[in-house]
Amino acid sequence: MSGKTVQEAFRAYVCQTSAAPLGLDVIRAEGAWVHTRDGRHYLDLLAGIGVNALGHAHPEVVAAVREQAGRYLHAMVYGEYALEPQARLAERLAEVAPPGLTQVYFTNSGTEANEGALKLARKATGRRRFLAFENSYHGDTCGSLSVTGRAVYRQPFEPLLPGVTFLPFDDAGALDAVDDTVAAVIVEPIQGEAGVRVPGGEFLPALRRRCDETGALLIFDEVQTGLGRTGRLWAGEHWGVTPDLMTLAKALGGGMPLGAFLGRPELMATLSCDPPLSHVTTFGGHPVCCAAGLAGLNVLLRERLSERAAQTGARFREGLRRIGGVEVRGLGMMIGWELESAALTARFAQEALAREVIVGWTLHSDRVLRLLPPLNLTDAETDLALDRLAAALAAAL
CA 278/CA 6 separation, integer angstroms = 42
The pair phi, psi for residue 340, each rounded to 5°, is -75, -30
Q: Could you give the CA distance from residue 360 to residue 269 in angstroms, rounded to a whole number?
A: 40
Contact 101, 94 (CB under 8 A): yes
Catalytic (active-site) positions: 137, 221, 250
Beta bridge pairs of residue 259: 107
The whole-angstrom separation of Cα 297 and Cα 320 is 29
The CB density around residue 214, as the number of other CB atoms within 10 Å, is: 16
Q: How far apart are CA 169 and CA 118, in angstroms?
A: 19
Distance CA 382, CA 388 (A): 10
Positive or negative CA dihedral for 250, 255, 258, 263? negative
DSSP code for 15 = P
Closest Cα to residue 107, out of 127, 126, 79, 135? 79
Say if CB 30 and CB 59 are below 8 A apart: no
